[in-house]
Structure 1
């Protein structure tokens, strides 16, 4: 099947994390998949969604809750990574669409956790690193965090930083802005 370039799936992951190294017998795993769809015809954000993923190889630490606002009790009815992958493939045609994230962490984390859990990788081979694109397009000479990019653009992050759906929404805003600039010429 040919690659579909009608929509870009902007993804941001939140994973279990600790102030230092993971405790024995635990490993960082995906606990939230934030998604924002970008319509490539209009260069607008069209949907924002969060998939909570029940951790199976780790527990949500106090540090993780402080960073993400995700608490262990929020995962009582959460699905599995396989469940989220099925939704991404069926409802969003993730195997056939370009997907994007802020940096390569999300891509590498998805690949590693899917392999560790023997879950099918839900995306095709095309990934867009918006962090690198932003650095190259603005000529700043180095990559910056999402909050740094927003400061450079004179914008304010919307929602809660380090929540998957809000971060995906904010990443998509920068992506739309860069793509609009490329189409019409001028400054980001």
Structure 2
């Protein structure tokens, strides 16, 4: 088997293979309110940002983001002030979650790559896919980098992406709470963190290998 591919089995799905040499940094922006959601509404994904990472060289390869039209919730003034996303932007530039999923699966091979987020974002995409009857387009190989970082930092508290980036000397490019910009910063934090915890190569040195 290719050393850069991991076979996983899930009793709920068919067997699939996850590449180990590439990983996707993912961020979502969702509808939100200053207080509780209005009756019958819930946080809904309205922007998806992705940055692909070469996991061997720990470098960013490409980035993209998409606006996703809201279906079950409103974009509140508070949400617009936080994210810069307006109802007009979603009407004009937004696509459906199903369309976004097809693009991401085809262009980024998201069903066969591990993916990262800062927080438990898998629950959000699983919920939205289920509520909109959209086939899952991310693999089950999900990593909560925020949890990993907080455990490695060992200071007994949850740490935000902005603070983690600052500790590594990484600056945000673009607007805060933009899914594309946040995915880029998360990718940089992942690469920096990987440089700290990466294990040395396992196995004999090439010079010790038998000559064919």
Same fold (TM over 0.5): yes
Structure 2 Cα separation of the partners of residues 52 and 132 of structure 1: 27
Structure 2 Cα separation of the partners of residues 17 and 183 of structure 1: 37
Contact 1:54–1:80 under 8 Å retained in 2:
yes
Name the counterpart of 1:101: 117
Name the counterpart of 1:12: 27
Deviations 1:98-146 (A, max 9, x none): 0000011x11110111111111111111101110121222222322111
**Distance apart, 1:161 and its partner CA:** 1.3
Pick one of 177, 181, 185 that aligns with 1:162: 177
SS in 1 for 2:21: strand
RCO greater where, 1 or 2, for CA within 8 Å and sep 6 or more?
1
**Distance apart, 1:25 and its partner CA:** 3.2
For structure 1, the residue ranges without an aligned partner over 5 or more in a row are none
Contact 1:137–1:178 under 8 Å retained in 2:
no
Contact 2:24–2:115 under 8 Å retained in 1:
yes
Q: Which has the larger radius of gyration?
A: 2
Aligned length: 184
RMSD: 1.5
For structure 2, the residue ranges without an aligned partner over 5 or more in a row are 1-15, 201-212
Contact 2:170–2:189 under 8 Å retained in 1:
no
Pick one of 141, 144, 149 that aligns with 1:134: 149
Structure 1 Cα separation of the partners of residues 55 and 164 of structure 2: 22
Name the counterpart of 2:204: none
Pick one of 135, 140, 150 that aligns with 1:120: 135
Moved over 4 A (4+): none
SS in 2 for 1:2: strand
TM-score of the superposed pair, with normalisation by structure 2: 0.82
